[in-house]
Chains A and B, each alone.
Chain A
């Protein structure tokens, strides 16, 4: 019998899920041939995954020393109550612990009210949820470039909302300028797209930099003037190498920006700072009661497992542990970063001066055959297949300048990192030699 396919939705057949981007293609190549020091030493090293594996031992040690308190371990009598708990307000002990943790990250400079915390299964869900709440299909969200490739899916796919890029460039270290914001708005207007908000990532992915106070103040002024919302994705806030170098949007709000608070919404998650992406713990913190209420109702589609809430409530409530963790984690990330920058420098590669995150923003402009996206992707492809290094091309992050790449350094052991840096050096030397020969 000839079967005619029954149509799915337009959403299902579009490619707005974004998985055809080089960002994800590289992952697939890695999955097919993953590096392993012992069993596959010539495999692909994954440098395209912004994960934090440098501080796991601290968590493991803690769990080993405190087995009674977690989940039900030996405290099984609480299993029943926990298994039944599906209130979308979340476990009180957990939301309190998350609020405390977020305060600690900001050195106690701002307070978080647990009642304004909404839990979602990961920041992926949090960002999508806020987009559903703040914008209608066809509306636009301003996003400074370069930005995390996942936003193309998270913010646009099911919501029907557009991303309006706010283009930043290397002339000022990719900082967001008023001019760039205004240009983006004008562009949206000319396309008859209604701008509903601005989404920042602070510290930035992929830049690895924390946004400075003056720029943050300027941004808040700008959104106030335009009458739009501001989402500050602070998922890497605990990964700033020096805690006093991070300024949260909450600080700007609380130190004089009070009247604008209703338009400010913070996204956070435990996936990066704590290195627990599998547990799907995301949060939205909003000063706007209507947003909190609506977000909470929408979180029904994406709640955090009560089992996970219970376990993490204990861990995050232990102030001594979290202080030590945050401090140690920062130190280790800083060390890694410095090691990588030095290694890249030895290979003749410059990086943007960074102070946060799990990655470097490196410039291979000199190695491009042509200063275009094609040239960049060609180089990226060579790196992937010849040097067997999966890094993320700047174009997949919507960077307008060709030749920038994001290199992750916290998702592997020190030894693997050393191997990767050696390969990078070999590769650049080879490419430079090629260039010299072809220019003869």
Chain B
């Protein structure tokens, strides 16, 4: 055995060998950015984050060749002065990536191991910050477009057996147009022509439909006879998932969803089965 040496993964060897990259799962596609990634311990690398600064090694995803926001993004982070003005698209795209990563990390759940409270709090604060920014940007973060999605938020959702949000079934998630394209809904009149699902709304539609499904389950009844008062739950997912994370999304829903808010309130007293939630998310994003 030779001298101890570190095998330093250089940037080049992180790239896929074949030029034809498989298309990423739909939910992450909109998060594609040109940031290169490094291998982290035990973390699965996402296709969405692969990119090379060098021009000759652009992966063969057609949509990316148009924009090259990645290189611009790299510079923009360093070139602070121009960041906001010049690379708005890049900033929004990064925001999208961070948002999707945030949600992905919050879903991470290793059975039997308690989540780190610090990490969860930091993730949720980041999520809140992004949502605030999106809200102040005027981005309509509600569902992509689609009034069909709105029905997920009603209590009579139980009639609809399918938990797949219509946004997913539309299948047009290959679109990489810039996210801030608010969909025409009944409350926000925009002169928007783009029919494809709003990428941001897509994420929230997942959340919304998951929530709708869960509220439908009447979890209160299931857990009625379990006395949870004797211990505090330091397990963040229960508290967060039942509570603040969803209401934060809920705040973007139209006002007539007060009913949903109350059902969220009932959720707060339930223990959420995270495995079930994962399963739901899987169904929704078809991944």
- Whether A and B are associated in the same complex: the answer reads no
A interface vs B, CB < 8 Å? none
B interface vs A, CB < 8 Å? none
